[in-house]
Amino acid sequence: MTIVLMALALAAMVASGLGILYPYVGYPRMLRSAKRVFKSGERQDGPAPKISAIVAAYNEERVMAAKLDNLLEQEYAGEIEVIVASDASEDETDAIVKRYAEKGVRLHRRPERRGKSMAQNAAVELATGDVLVFTDASVLLRPGAIAALMEQMRDPTVGAVTGEDVSTAADDQDQSAGAGFYTRLEIKIRRREAENTGTLIGVSGCLFAVRKELRPPVPADSVDDLYVPLYVVSQGYRVVAAEDAKAIVRRTANLDAEFARKVRTFTGALFTMRAIRKKVGRGGLAKVKTHLRWHKKMRWYGPFFALLALVSNGVLVALHPAFAYLMMLQMVVYVLGLTGVAAAVSDAEIERRALISGKEPKKRRRGPIRKMQKFASFFLLVEAALVVAWLRYIFRKPFATWTPTKRAEG
């Protein structure tokens, strides 16, 4: 009986470890031999289609002028219509947008807050472009970004194109360095998906384009950067990446902001999967179900795998003391994560006091231990955010409205 229990506990622990690591390590390798499910077409020449660039905004007075200048400076052979969908902003956002009216920028203000998706849906109804470009107010586009998106649209099999995030921070020792690594890994996986299967299953919410006829109304509890590409794929079109369409994304200013952002993202993703299944049916995503499972769903199950790893390891320790070393290894990860969080809070407080006193903030701690703390704390941040997201999903508590993430200055 003891041997059977030990075998079951060991199998559970191995399975939980694979469940946590496979989406990040095994899945990219699996893509090398993945069957191509979508074929590309021949690029067509013709007049550049009209674009409607849509910016959803809520209290974005700090960044709105820079965002509009950035959009208007984009070089593109066709016409660009800019629409700002203000979700009942309470600051000077609307006034700033109105000052750009003579440059062709349109303001659509919603009288009451209904959320980002509802604001975008309303802007889509007003848009006159053949292609819709969605971009966040807090990010800036590198020159040629929109043109790079539209170059991919010359392929008639392409329904949506994602840009690529470039994560930056004023200090390379920023606590969210783990987030920067995660962004780079995600971009690498997306590229392999596009190369080996012919399509992506997600886009960057900071910058993406979609043919207007393929952009359905997005439910209030869903996120457009997952709902829209999955709908596009269900209609037989491809979603691809434009490597030269760069969106400069400031990392979040602190752990609280990063945690809140991830909770919103994961909660929206869980509700999105339920909504898209209702929209397209179970068979609508048959061609990409394997990639959905390994790229998205397995990541969302991370907290359950982590709990299973602890419980199964505890059983193994009770059966044989040699397994205590594995438990110690797990504890090291959690201790590094917790001390990393504590260090980040301490750094933020030191910097705040220095700014108040007018002194130069002390340089942040460096070294291999600090780097391990950052990645471990980012892991804990993700898993904790997933726990909250699952609770909100189970108890049907979606985020109907949103508060844009406050990014680091600099």
pLDDT at residue 175, rounded to an integer: 47
3-state secondary structure 119-143: HHHHHHHHCCCCEEEEECCCCEECC
The answer on pLDDT for 284 being more than 70 is yes
Pair of tokens at residue 48:
């550049």
pLDDT at residue 46, rounded to an integer: 81
Is pLDDT larger for residue 368 or for residue 353?
368
The span from the CA of 362 to the CA of 344, in Å, is: 13
Average pLDDT, the chain: 88
Pair of tokens at residue 110:
């919603």
- Which has the minimum average pLDDT: 92-101, 179-188, 196-205, 217-226? 179-188
The span from the CA of 273 to the CA of 373, in Å, is: 33
Helix 2-21 × helix 302-319 angle, to 10°: 150
What single-letter amino acid sits at 219? P
What single-letter amino acid sits at 67? K
pLDDT at residue 202, rounded to an integer: 94
Helix 302-319 × helix 324-357 angle, to 10°: 130
The answer on pLDDT for 120 being more than 80 is yes
Is pLDDT larger for residue 188 or for residue 363?
188
Q: Which pLDDT band holds residue 361 (cuts at 50, 70, 90)?
A: low
The answer on pLDDT for 264 being more than 80 is yes
pLDDT per residue over 26-78, tens digit each? Answer: 998 888 887 777 878 778 778 899 999 999 999 999 999 999 999 999 999 99
Residue 34 to residues 196, 201, 242: CA-CA distances in angstroms? 6, 14, 21
The answer on pLDDT for 174 being more than 50 is no
The span from the CA of 77 to the CA of 146, in Å, is: 10
Q: Which pLDDT band holds residue 326 (cuts at 50, 70, 90)?
A: very high
Asked whether the beta carbons of 206 and 249 are under 8 A apart, the reply is: yes
Q: Which residues contact 189 (CB under 8 A, 6 or more apart)?
A: 27, 28, 31, 295
Long-range (24+ apart) CB contacts under 8 A made by 149-154 are 149/207, 149/208, 149/209, 149/242, 149/245, 150/48, 150/49, 150/51, 150/76, 150/78, 150/209, 151/242, 152/240, 152/241, 152/242, 153/49, 153/209, 153/211, 154/43, 154/44, 154/45
pLDDT at residue 171, rounded to an integer: 45
The span from the CA of 203 to the CA of 352, in Å, is: 35
The span from the CA of 184 to the CA of 172, in Å, is: 15
- The most confident of the ranges 1-5, 32-36, 363-367 is 1-5
The answer on pLDDT for 283 being more than 70 is yes
Burial (0-12, 13-18, 19+ Cβ within 10 Å), 232: buried
Q: Which fold has domain 26-298?
A: Spore Coat Polysaccharide Biosynthesis Protein SpsA; Chain A (3.90.550)
Q: Which pLDDT band holds residue 408 (cuts at 50, 70, 90)?
A: low
Ramachandran bin of 270, using left for φ above 0, alpha for ψ from -120 to 50, beta for the remaining angles: alpha
Q: Which pLDDT band holds residue 138 (cuts at 50, 70, 90)?
A: very high
Indicate the DSSP class of residue 186.
H
pLDDT at residue 269, rounded to an integer: 96
Pair of tokens at residue 157:
């099999």
The answer on pLDDT for 187 being more than 70 is yes
Burial (0-12, 13-18, 19+ Cβ within 10 Å), 132: buried
Q: Which pLDDT band holds residue 173 (cuts at 50, 70, 90)?
A: very low
| Stretch 257-282: mean pLDDT | 92
Work out the percent of the chain whose per-residue pLDDT is above 90: 64
Ramachandran bin of 46, using left for φ above 0, alpha for ψ from -120 to 50, beta for the remaining angles: left
